[in-house]
Chains A and B, each alone.
Chain A
Amino acid sequence: MRLWLSGLWLMMGIFAYGQAQYDRSILMAQAQDYFTLHPEKSEMIGYYIQKNFPDEPSGKEAAYIIIMARYLQNHTSELTDTGPGENNTYPEDYLIAYATALYSAGLNTEILQSYDPSGIVRDMDAITSRLKRKQYRQSIPSIRKLISRTTDQNRNSLKIFWSAVFDTVPLENLALFRDEISAIAKRYPREAEMTLLSARLQIAEKNTDAAKKTMAGLDAAAIGKSQNLRLKKDYLDIATLLSFYGNSAQDYIRNKNIRDGIIRNIAAENQKFRSRWYSFTEDNNRLAFESRNKRTGLVLGICLLIISTVIVSLLIYLYNVKNRIKRFELLKSRIKSLSDKKTPLNIIPEKTESLLLDKLTRFESEEDFLSPNMSLNVLAKKLGTNTKYLSETINTCKGKNFNTYINELRINYILTKLNNDPVYRNYKISYLAEECGFSSHSLFASVFKTVVGISPINYIRILNEKR
């Protein structure tokens, strides 16, 4: 029954987990769909995932969604909230999106490279560093390499990277990248960002009619309403160029005004982002130092604690042993002084001792030792002698003191009973103790173990097993 219930719980757990993962993947897909025209919705989904899926992978995926959405809406100064933390790894998507935002603000991606096991940020950096130095032709192999690294997983983040990268290439140099832009555009059929990139290339190649045709495929109204400022800016950039070449002054003024406004916004936001990123890196450095400092303190503290514990234990041990030695030495000196003073021991006449021995043999056979009141005094009286003679005789002739003598007789008695009469093996220890004259069962057990070497319970168990 219990097994069945556990199985049911496990099944329910797996089902709930599976359902949660399924929900999360649907939300992720939806957030990615919203990126182009409704990044604000993607951001909301990102927050929802962050709040409702507290596991680490979900948190990182949500961070990626939020970064993308903030970047597209030109809220880059808020990106430091989702910046990379110490001793962490991040999915490629996250790194690509973050690196794109940094690159757009003129910042190096050096810090991200330590979180980048696949080396994709390094590949992005190879492109951007060449483009910054206006080494357009030299950047082509790196661009091709990165195109080949496009997967279903990272295609969305790479898309914004390509838009940002080619945005920095002057129009007169854009034709150099014709093959690469075509290859990229093929990977993103009918996607607005890539349509705009293709149109830009067509303008660069002086093919304004084709560019107009390409632009006609876009939903201008939807782009106009969109919160995606990057897309809007790219769209207006091309529209401004087309109206400029088409000698449409009115359109040119309108498009240029809006575009310049967006460019100013992006520049101002970038300034904020740069300032915050600088503070973020300073804080990261400080935190790394502090956490290392804490660790150092902890390691040293543990080490000191272990060593001091060992030292204190040893000191306690030494103190105890030293005390014992002192006590033993004292005892030894006392014994020595006693033995120096003592009178000859054998003071009992031989005849008396022989008589007493006979009486003791009788005492043993009559089993009088079973009386719980048996003591040196009682026995001396019973045997008609004094305690000194009796004690001396037992010590000398039996080789033990009175108590050991009586205890051994009692234990031997009960051993005989246990060996010969199986009924005794079923009795309680307290009964056995009482039977052989012990006042308490713990004393019996202790004496039994001293005499026989094992406890009475174990002795009985062995006897039963033999049987």
Chain B
Amino acid sequence: MVLLTCIMLHIKLDAQVPDATIKAIEQSSLENPDRSKELAGSLDMSALNDQQKIRVLFALTNSSNVTGELDKTLEYGGKTMVLAKKEKDTLTQIKLYGILGSLYQSINLNEKTKNYLDEAEKLMTAYRFPDALMYIKGNVYYLKGMNYAHTLDCEMAIRYFSRSIDIYRKNPSKMSAVNLKMAYLNKGFCEIELGQTTNAAQTLELAQPDYNGAADANSYPKFFAERQKLFVKFGHAKIDAKKEQYGISNALLLDLLNEEQSRNTNFTRTEVLKQLAENYYHLGRYEESDRYEKMYFAEADPENRKQDDLLNYLISENKKISEASIKKMVTKEILMLALIGILGGLFILYLIRKALGYRHQYQKLKKDLFNSQSIKNQ
């Protein structure tokens, strides 16, 4: 009884220590991902229960995502998903589908992204989010909108952006402030694509960050506000182009190029060059159009190459992981075969020895019995 109590106490003590560490891992996963990984590395995963493993692995998925390690994000994400499904942890599954979906979107794997976000959406229909976590639902809708926008299905994209905006507005939080503005911006771009220029102009105004220096510094970072303003301006240039006011559009675009140059940023440059090439083409100024088109390709090429490299890297890493697991399995197989062979062989040898002994005894008995005087006399 004393021993049992000691064991129980020991387990309880053991379980308490990693829980504090797990909290630290979770808290630092977004702000200090390296620290989060370091802490996770110091944990003995086999000592954790499934719920704790989910929390650690999810934090690792997040931190890998923040540091841009796609392969690690997928690896940890995959492991977390298996456990979350096993534990029927719907919220984690939804969050994971969102993270993995956005990861695949970043390398333009639209179909894969769609599948993941569809899964998230399916799970959301049966899950009741607490108010504080409603932004997760908004995020999934926002990602779905982006996915449709990438596949040029702007009507569907607008529908999902509107849903996400609705959720963000009803449940304002620090987590959703940036995404609300992003949703407005991308909704505005989709409206431009569909030629709804008046709606687009209004939506773009809503996308404008209310950033007035330190007062709103809590809502969104300065970096985001500056970037957003540039994109809103670019949106207006696109509206003008859609209205065939190419001159006005070009003035805005050239202004944007100068602004980016003076700030030494590169947020809108590629898109601006593309729009300039299109505008000059419509103006019949083909040489300028050709020049900007070449500049656009020169800017876009490394970006595309980067995406290609990321995708190829992922494919190659997946293959390596698969080969490593097959190798591990083969080693296991050899070990198992050796174990079975040795144990079985030893047992068989033992039985053969025993059988030979019995056989000898039997032959001797038989000989004794048939050669005995008593039998002869009989």
Please determine whether B337 and A332 come into contact, CB atoms closer than 8 angstroms.
no
Interface membership of chain A positions 294-325, coded 1 if the CB is closer than 8 angstroms to chain B and 0 otherwise: 00100110011001101100110110011011
Name the B residues within 8 Å of A286 (CB-CB): 322
Are A328 and B319 CB-contacts (below 8 A) given A272-B111, A303-B341, A317-B355? Answer: no
A48 to chain B, nearest CB (A): 30
Name the A residues within 8 Å of B372 (CB-CB): 332, 335
Binds A, one of B10-18, B36-44, B230-238, B310-318: B310-318
Name the A residues within 8 Å of B348 (CB-CB): 307, 310-311, 314
**Residues of A in contact, count (CB < 8 Å):** 54
Name the B residues within 8 Å of A345 (CB-CB): 377
Asked if B220 CB lies within 8 Å of chain A CBs, one says: no
Chain B's closest residue to A300 (CB) is B336
B271 to chain A, nearest CB (A): 16
Interface members, chain B 356-371 (any A CB < 8 Å): 358-359, 361-362, 365-366, 368-369
Please determine whether B111 and A332 come into contact, CB atoms closer than 8 angstroms.
no
Select A106's contact among B311, B321, B325, beta carbons within 8 Å. Answer: B311
Asked if A256 CB lies within 8 Å of chain B CBs, one says: yes
Name the B residues within 8 Å of A307 (CB-CB): 340-341, 344-345, 348
Name the A residues within 8 Å of B318 (CB-CB): 281-282, 285
CA distance A339 to B111 in the complex (A): 95
Binds B, one of A107-115, A381-389, A443-451: A107-115
Please determine whether B362 and A325 come into contact, CB atoms closer than 8 angstroms.
yes
Are A314 and B316 CB-contacts (below 8 A) given A244-B290, A289-B326, A292-B330? Answer: no
A79 to chain B, nearest CB (A): 14
Asked if B329 CB lies within 8 Å of chain A CBs, one says: yes
How many of chain B's residues touch chain A, expressed as a range? 35 or more
Select A311's contact among B307, B347, B375, beta carbons within 8 Å. Answer: B347
CA distance A281 to B312 in the complex (A): 11
Interface members, chain B 172-228 (any A CB < 8 Å): none
Asked if A254 CB lies within 8 Å of chain B CBs, one says: no
Asked if A431 CB lies within 8 Å of chain B CBs, one says: no
Select A111's contact among B319, B337, B361, B362, beta carbons within 8 Å. Answer: B319
Select A278's contact among B112, B286, B354, B359, beta carbons within 8 Å. Answer: B112
Select B311's contact among A107, A293, A321, A331, beta carbons within 8 Å. Answer: A107
Name the B residues within 8 Å of A402 (CB-CB): none
A229 to chain B, nearest CB (A): 18
Are A329 and B110 CB-contacts (below 8 A) given A107-B311, A318-B355, A339-B377? Answer: no
Chain A's closest residue to B109 (CB) is A275
CA distance A282 to B321 in the complex (A): 11
B367 to chain A, nearest CB (A): 10
CA distance A106 to B374 in the complex (A): 97
Select B308's contact among A107, A318, A339, beta carbons within 8 Å. Answer: A107
CA distance A339 to B378 in the complex (A): 9
Interface membership of chain B positions 265-305, coded 1 if the CB is closer than 8 angstroms to chain A and 0 otherwise: 00000000000000001001010001000000000000011
Asked if B7 CB lies within 8 Å of chain A CBs, one says: no
Q: Contacts A277-B315, A289-B326, A307-B344 known; list 4 others, CB within 8 Å.
A: A275-B111, A314-B351, A325-B365, A332-B369
Interface residues of A, Cβ cutoff 8 Å to B: 106-108, 110-111, 132, 244, 249, 252, 256, 268, 271-272, 274-279, 281-282, 285-286, 288-289, 292-293, 296, 299-300, 303-304, 307-308, 310-311, 314-315, 317-318, 321-322, 324-325, 328-329, 331-332, 335-336, 338-339, 342, 345
